[in-house]
Amino acid sequence: MQPSLEENSSSSFVDRRQISPKSAPTGLERRQFTNSYESLEPDVMELAKAVDQYKMIHRRRFITYEELHGVVTSLGYHK
């Protein structure tokens, strides 16, 4: 007799939403893709790193155009 779906999943399921103090995040963000700044021009690399830093500080996955404008002006660019 095969175990029921509930029996099988309950023994292998790990609820990752419950973080114990021992397994708390170390401050590093887990990313799905690696950064590939090496192939960028220096100015573009600077902008990409500034946008990533902004997203990390403000815990944002995506930013608005207004936030992007703020990052660009913080780098010293102006119209």
Residue 1 lies in a domain: no
Q: Retrieve residue 24's tokens.
A: 């708390």
Provide the residue range defining the domain that includes 45.
Answer: 40-64
- Burial label for 68, CB within 10 Å (0-12, 13-18, 19+), is middle
Mean pLDDT of 8-24: 63
Residue 53 lies in a domain: yes
Mean pLDDT of 41-54: 93
Picking from 53, 41, 46, the residue whose alpha carbon sits closest to that of residue 76 is 46
Residue 78 lies in a domain: no
Give phi and psi for 76, each to the nearest 5.
Answer: 100, 5
Residue 6 lies in a domain: no
pLDDT of residue 39: 86
- 3-class DSSP state of 19: coil
Integer Cα distance of 74 and 76 in angstroms: 5
Residue 57 lies in a domain: yes
pLDDT of residue 36: 76
pLDDT by residue (tens digit) across 49-72?
999 999 999 999 999 999 999 999
What is the tally of structural domains in the chain?
Answer: 1
Identify which has the larger pLDDT, 57 or 1.
Answer: 57
Model confidence, pTM: 0.55
